[in-house]
Each structure stands twice: as structure tokens, then as C-alpha cells.
Amino acid sequence: MEIVPYNGNTLAYVGDAVFSLQVRNYLVKVKNIQKPKLLQKESVEFVSAKAQAVFITKMIEEGILSDEELSIVKRGRNAKSDSVAKNVDVVTYRIATGFEALWGWLYLSDQLERLEALWQCILNIKEE
């Protein structure tokens, strides 16, 4: 698959929205959570920079990602950003940005089956 010509921050911007929607869909449709406070609490376990850093690190350690996917993660991780990490160290924030960049790239390059496969990996990681 051709790497789309977007920078790491743009990919992360899209990936953040895509991942957030996946999480919300899962919490509402699959787990049937309807209380706003609980939805917020549960979603943080997926969308926080700390959680995303854990997910992507685990996928890398387990050899789940292709070389091309790894290059996208690195593109996002190494992207210069003016935004400051909230409640997390800079390294974790950058790793999470790499995670979001991967999600954005997969979405923008119409690799929806791969996006779903990696989502299943995340659910498995959460169960561990």
C-alpha cells in the first residue's frame, strides 16, 4: 500500500478521531454502556496517551505490525508538535502520537480490514 503523503501530525489528527469512534462504538454497541460517567471512565482506558503507548508497544513487541506500518508509527512518533502532553511524559505522548498516526494512515488508505484486525488485537491486549 502506498504511504499517503500526509505528515505524522495530520495522520495522528485523523487517527485520534477514528480510534475514538471505534472505542465509543465498542462501549455503546458491544458493552452496552449508557451512563455518561461510565462511558467517559471506560473510554479513557483506551484513548489516553498512556493506554495507546501500551497498545502500540505491545503490538511492536509481538511483531504484529508490518514494516510499512512501523514506518508510519515512527513518522507519527517523530513528528514535531507544538502541543504539550497533558498528564503524561513527552516520550509516552510521542509514542501515542505514533499509534494515532498508524490509525489515521490505515483509515485514509482504506485499509479498514486491517484497522479492524488491529482493533481486535487491542481488545486482546486489554483482556490480558
Amino acid, res. 45: E
SS3 assignment, position 10: helix
Question: Which of 16, 67, 89, 110 does the annotation list as catalytic?
Answer: 16
**Residue 34 phi, psi (nearest 5):** -125, -10
Q: Is 87 left (phi over 0), alpha (psi -120 to 50) or beta?
A: left
Residues 6+ apart with CB under 8 A from 119: 22
Of 101, 107, 127, residue with least CA distance to 7 = 101
- Nearest-angstrom CA–CA distance, 112 and 9: 20
**67: annotated active-site residue:** no
Point out the residues that are catalytic: 16
